[in-house]
Structure 1
Amino acid sequence: MGNLLLLALYLCTSALLAPARAATPPAPPGAPPVPAPLPPTRAPTTLARYPLDPIWQQARQHLGVATTAANTNAPPAAMKRQNYLPYLQANATYFRRFQEPDGRILDEFQFREVQNATACYALVAAALVISGQDTNFLTSAVLALDYTLQRMVKLDEKSPGADLSIAPAMIAYEWLHPLVAPERRQQWQTHLRAIAPDKAYRDRLTDARTRVTSYNVGALTGEYLRQYNGVGAPAFLYQHLPVQLRNFTVDGMYRDTFAPVAYDGMSRHFLAQLVWHEYAGPGKDTLLELLDRGALTALLAQSPLGEVPTGGRGSQHQWNEAQQAFVFELWATRKKAAGDTLAAQAFKRGAQLSWQSILRWVRPSGELNIVKNAFDPAAQHGFEKYSSHSHFNLLTASMLALAWRVADDSIFATVAPAEVGGFVFELAEFRKIIANAGGLYVEIDTKADTNYHSTGFVRLHKTGVEGVIGPSDSLPSRLTPLAVGIGWSDGDTWKSLAGENFDFVKIPKLTVQKTAPTNVAFTVRYPVGSTNVAAVLEHYDLTPQRVQVTTTVEGTARELRLRFPALVFTGVRATTVRLTNSIATVTLGKSRQTCRIVEPAAAVWRRTGDILAARNGFVEPLESDLGTNRVVYTLTPEVLP
């Protein structure tokens, strides 16, 4: 009865948004990746101007027009906090089946606890309890937190670290400690005070290690939350935060090892928890400015399907969009508090798009396909070496629980930049170009991480069209260079733009010709410097209906080959691929992608018969030998009647 009374009292106050203050591919799980050499430009101590501010100001003008039209034609849609909860309940219910008597969550395929799965489960289960969605999770949540905290205290230098577990464990503690008996609360506090950072965390500064990665961001966030809740000291945070701030670009993006976009978002989602928990220590102003820039950059870079740009390790995993949903929900509340209604509504819509992106991949059993394909999770198709069905499901759910907690129902979701477009910009240190015209979205990788992607035109998304036929990704060029684009003959061999890997001297150049919601035009020049090709020029012309690409080569190459990665299987559904002379179509359900070669007019597509594994399923390269040094082609994604 006492616990039920405590729970009832807590639920009465749980609507408050602010938390209550209390008295190389990565190494094996638990170990941080080895830092890579930094590029020449870094965020200075005194920040330079925000390079994307002109893009954001331009986007604001377009948003203002689109928002007025949306409000005139129909009332703006309310995105309710409670929308997150049924999914969280289904996900936690699925994984509760794998909870051991000691509280840990086992992975059903690896037969062990993987990374921070138990800590994330504790957070999700706690959210279900304090929201009132399912108070029957209280015992299970308490057991999971018991196990997590006991494990942290026992860690030594040879154990997998707690770098990524401490922050979700602290949030679970914040939400659960008012609901348990005083004896258990005291036990938790004893464990938390006993955590030794030099033993618990793997990614930390030492005499031999002068750089830290995104793993450390999780640890320093957890250390701040320990201090905030009165069970820790600030020394670890104050030692590492200044170093971590130097890992940001002037665009506000966190540059982890080899610049994967996913781990920019992962790091910002951790550091946003400092902002949410009222951090006011050293570096606060710089941190706030960088996170504000990062949130705006992510909002501009979001695809109209709600997705984070693809690129590098961790991409195409559902947690990419979940961390984005949390950050966008939090920034919507911050912009509302600052009186910026337009930005608040745009961030709210961005959160909604992120959430809708994840919902597309919910399995009938209640949990997610953790990668954007429909294969049975036992196949581990598209997984990283460190991916697991339990860990990345529960990580995604924990981020969505944070989004639920900070969401403000009074903010209406109108339109996001991804749906309006009218801009093109470059994220130089992440080697990306993002372009959008009226919700037709293009992503270009100008220097791919060869272990994961290829260089060139890697993504085309449009509202309402299934993203996986876009294409939505490329293949690892180290194994099979493949993106939308050309190759050329060089003697007896064929080379391709997809296989190029430019250094910091030979940098592709973006030149912008036009930016409007109805039309965006720009050119990318790739300084190839091979035997018979000095450079490749790609001119892009986007409208809300299609993108037209004109490609020419500077040099003596006279034979080009155009390649298109056609999705043939998602893991459950096969596409229909049809070729008619210069026209190739890929159809999946009510979505169709058409690639038409405009020049040369006599061009003919052919199927290669090569079936290649990709993140989103299996693809087959389509090819056309052109016999010329110039090609014009269009891609037209559409929803069929």
Structure 2
Amino acid sequence: MADQDHSVVAMPHAYLTDNPLDPVLIRLRNTLEKRADNAIPTEVTRENYIDLIDGVVEYFHHFQAENGRIIDPFLHREYQYSTPTYALAAAVLVSSGKRPDLLTSARLALDSSLFQLASGTANDRHGDFFILPTMLAYRHLRDRVDAATRNRWDRYLGMLIPEFAYSDLIGDRQANVINWNTSAISGEFLRHKDGFTDLHFVDKYLDAQLPHFTPEGLYREPGSPLVYDTSARFNFSVLLEEGYTGKQRKALEVLLERGAWASLLMQSPSGDFPTGGRSAEHVWNDALNCASFELWARRSHAAGDEIAARAFKRAAHLAAQVVSRWVRPSGELWIVKNRFDPALRHGFEEYSSHSQYNLLAAAYMAMAWSMADDRISEGVSPADVGGFVVDLPEFHKVFANSGGHYLEIETAADPHYNGTGLLRVHRRGMDNQLGESDSPPSQGSSPAVGISWRSKGRWESLAEYSVGKVSARTFVIDASPEMVRFDERYQLKSASIESVTESYLLTPSSVTVTVQLKGQVDQWKVRFPAFAFDGREIGKIDLNRSGVAVHSASSIQRFELLGPGHPKLHQTSHIVSMRSGYYMLIEGEGRGKRTTYSLGAK
């Protein structure tokens, strides 16, 4: 990874500053306490985690080579860290008593993983991601194998040299590190704890990593992708759970608890991980959330904070429900939240594969199972009750929730992945494919939900004003579980107009958006991508003059263009491709500088 710029603006003392989310969290804890028993139980148990793991492992068991390595069924080779994540998932099935027959398979996978680490030959140079699942698998299996095998594993763990085993390292051509290194830190701490190394690597790289944190307790790397914030924080949380007492312990305790609460605020009422940016809408995101929330439920319970413990337990179960919705008939998971044949790679990143991301999800579910404390019962989570607006400026995201109706807004998009503006709309009980659940890249076009305008004969859209071309501010007017009102004001650079203000009125059943354009405007246009096909289900689109109703088998989403005047919606011939499927672009036009539209169930 040398010659890559991994730097972010350092915040070396973030843990000593006030948490900007404290005013929201103080009110929210009061709401959680008052409504402690209001949510419908998920009926998810720890054993559901085992069932999900079993489906993935059983599928990939058939793709294990004689030397223990897992071969991707589409790439026809071992890919990235599939083998060590398989080793952990299979080891937990053995340890749980569910699948004792998998002991030999788990042993072979672990043998291969340890050899690759010890010899500095980790597959695809992904040793950073090998060490944590490898150490956890070792703990499950070390007392279940013969003495010769255990001795060989111990020898491999003693031989491992981080500078040869890992890729994300500070050196002559690399001044900083990213999320890869957090996995190595976590695994190296376990290797230290089990007596195979000292703390030199952990101490060195924790010092380098702490300035990546914001005062909200969130982890940044270039592009600020949310999933790599959460994965990094989870890796650091494992250190706390395993008893880390070094000089960064106090900072980690403060920042990671803040970040855990921020994750609760970002979770959709359906349990989904927030979207946006790199690796978004991948099912392993939700498995990661499940493991992280189980860890924090345990830690909160141990600290005597039952409101938090029950909220985290609820959030873990909601995340597990998301994973279970994406089980394929063959037992493993769809990688991205659509139902296209995996061979088509619809919505995949260039680095996504059927093996590595299925088995990463299984490994996180294995960690969730290991950390789950059955003494903690579900309460309600922030996703259930809402009553807040959360602005995360370092991540260009705003989240709002009113009684289980939830918005995510992108205030300065990475154009490779999304457009600026309204990014997601989820409502409890709604089919999220009707969403919106995500938005398309704005690079080269802007078919996202939201406003466009024509000025001086040229069409522009808010969506196309990506990071570096726009700045945004959030103004909260009112926030309760019954109603949330706020304004999002965008200042545009090198645009034909000066600014765009979106005024949101969010209730448990609908969201109304009034858009005000400042500048010389000839005409405006509002766009709505209506769900058409996700690889299995076809959306039914009913269009009238000012509204459209989109039906799936289980729910309905309505979009209405409310004026001013009598604007007419029409269906274009433009098919929009998103991670979740294909969408038919609906448009409506009018004149003036102001318009209003709504989305909801009614």
Shorter-chain TM band: over 0.9
Alignment-derived partner of residue 24 in structure 1: none
Give ranges in structure 1 of 5+ residues lacking alignment: 1-30
**What's the CA shift for 1:611?**
1.4
Which deviates more, 284-293 or 475-484? 475-484
* Structure 1 stretches of 4+ moved >3 Å: 31-37, 76-79, 156-159, 529-532
Q: Which amino acid aligns with 2:159?
A: A
Please, which of 240, 252, 269 is the counterpart of residue 217 of structure 2?
A: 252
Alignment-derived partner of residue 68 in structure 2: 103
Change in Cα spacing, 1:363 to 1:33, as seen in structure 2 (3 Å) is farther
Alignment-derived partner of residue 503 in structure 2: 539
**What's the CA shift for 1:45?**
5.8
**What's the CA shift for 1:425?**
1.2
The alignment partner of 2:549 has SS state of strand
Q: TM-score, normalised by structure 1?
A: 0.91
Change in Cα spacing, 1:603 to 1:43, as seen in structure 2 (3 Å) is farther
Alignment-derived partner of residue 553 in structure 2: 589
Alignment-derived partner of residue 213 in structure 1: 178
1:52 to 2:18 alignment? no
How far apart, CA to CA, are the structure 2 residues paired with 1:373 and 1:454? 20
Change in Cα spacing, 1:159 to 1:518, as seen in structure 2 (3 Å) is closer
Please, which of 393, 396, 409 is the counterpart of residue 428 of structure 1?
A: 393
How far apart, CA to CA, are the structure 2 residues paired with 1:415 and 1:626? 43
Which deviates more, 457-466 or 486-495? 486-495
Contact 1:447 1:455 in 2 (8 A): yes
Q: Deviations over 1:296-340 (max 9, x none)?
A: 000111110111211110100011111111111111111111111
Change in Cα spacing, 1:33 to 1:404, as seen in structure 2 (3 Å) is farther
Q: How does 1:311-390 map to 2 (within 5 A)?
A: 311-390=276-355
Contact 1:435 1:443 in 2 (8 A): yes
**What's the CA shift for 1:161?**
3.6
CA-atom RMSD in angstroms: 1.7
Please, which of 445, 449, 458 is the counterpart of residue 414 of structure 2?
A: 449
Please, which of 568, 583, 593 is the counterpart of residue 532 of structure 2?
A: 568
Contact 2:386 2:403 in 1 (8 A): yes
Q: How does 1:304-315 map to 2 (within 5 A)?
A: 304-315=269-280
How far apart, CA to CA, are the structure 2 residues paired with 1:338 and 1:194? 38
Please, which of 17, 29, 35 is the counterpart of residue 5 of structure 2?
A: 35
**What's the CA shift for 1:409?**
1.0
How far apart, CA to CA, are the structure 2 residues paired with 1:212 and 1:497? 33
Alignment-derived partner of residue 241 in structure 1: 206
**What's the CA shift for 1:207?**
3.0
**What's the CA shift for 1:480?**
2.6
Which deviates more, 387-396 or 280-289? 280-289
Change in Cα spacing, 1:162 to 1:68, as seen in structure 2 (3 Å) is closer
Please, which of 123, 135, 148 is the counterpart of residue 88 of structure 2?
A: 123
1:86 to 2:51 alignment? yes
Q: TM-score, normalised by structure 2?
A: 0.97
Alignment-derived partner of residue 303 in structure 1: 268
Please, which of 587, 607, 611 is the counterpart of residue 571 of structure 2?
A: 607
Please, which of 616, 625, 639 is the counterpart of residue 580 of structure 2?
A: 616
Q: Deviations over 1:40-62 (max 9, x none)?
A: x7252652011111111111111
Alignment-derived partner of residue 28 in structure 1: none
Alignment-derived partner of residue 282 in structure 1: 247
How far apart, CA to CA, are the structure 2 residues paired with 1:603 and 1:45? 49
How far apart, CA to CA, are the structure 2 residues paired with 1:345 and 1:229? 32
Alignment-derived partner of residue 632 in structure 1: 596
**What's the CA shift for 1:157?**
10
Alignment-derived partner of residue 372 in structure 2: 407
Alignment-derived partner of residue 113 in structure 1: 78
**What's the CA shift for 1:547?**
0.3
How far apart, CA to CA, are the structure 2 residues paired with 1:196 and 1:129? 29
How far apart, CA to CA, are the structure 1 residues paired with 2:42 and 2:555? 25
Alignment-derived partner of residue 261 in structure 1: 226
Alignment-derived partner of residue 222 in structure 1: 187
How far apart, CA to CA, are the structure 2 residues paired with 1:615 and 1:210? 34
Alignment-derived partner of residue 495 in structure 1: 460
How far apart, CA to CA, are the structure 2 residues paired with 1:457 and 1:484? 7
Q: Deviations over 1:348-369 (max 9, x none)?
A: 0000111111111100110000
The alignment partner of 1:352 has SS state of helix
Alignment-derived partner of residue 471 in structure 2: 507
**What's the CA shift for 1:282?**
2.2
Q: Deviations over 1:179-212 (max 9, x none)?
A: 1111110100101111111111110111332110
**What's the CA shift for 1:69?**
4.5
1:61 to 2:44 alignment? no
How far apart, CA to CA, are the structure 2 residues paired with 1:532 and 1:108? 51
How far apart, CA to CA, are the structure 2 residues paired with 1:561 and 1:520? 26
Alignment-derived partner of residue 160 in structure 2: 195
Change in Cα spacing, 1:356 to 1:43, as seen in structure 2 (3 Å) is farther
Q: Which amino acid aligns with 2:71?
A: L
The alignment partner of 1:91 has SS state of helix
Contact 1:79 1:348 in 2 (8 A): no
Please, which of 450, 470, 480 is the counterpart of residue 516 of structure 1?
A: 480
Give ranges in structure 2 of 5+ residues lacking alignment: none
Q: Which amino acid aligns with 1:353?
A: L
Q: Which amino acid aligns with 1:609?
A: S
Contact 2:5 2:174 in 1 (8 A): no
Contact 2:82 2:359 in 1 (8 A): yes
Contact 1:119 1:144 in 2 (8 A): yes
Contact 1:100 1:106 in 2 (8 A): yes
The alignment partner of 1:507 has SS state of strand
Across the two proteins, how many residue pairs are aligned to each other?
A: 602
Q: Give aligned-pair identity as a percent.
A: 40
Change in Cα spacing, 1:530 to 1:602, as seen in structure 2 (3 Å) is farther
How far apart, CA to CA, are the structure 2 residues paired with 1:32 and 1:622? 46
Q: Deviations over 1:108-160 (max 9, x none)?
A: 00001111100000000000011111111111000000111111222269962
Alignment-derived partner of residue 394 in structure 1: 359
The alignment partner of 1:49 has SS state of coil
The alignment partner of 2:58 has SS state of helix
**What's the CA shift for 1:447?**
0.4
Contact 2:217 2:258 in 1 (8 A): yes
**What's the CA shift for 1:225?**
1.1
How far apart, CA to CA, are the structure 1 residues paired with 2:222 and 2:124? 23
Please, which of 437, 445, 449 is the counterpart of residue 480 of structure 1?
A: 445
1:182 to 2:152 alignment? no
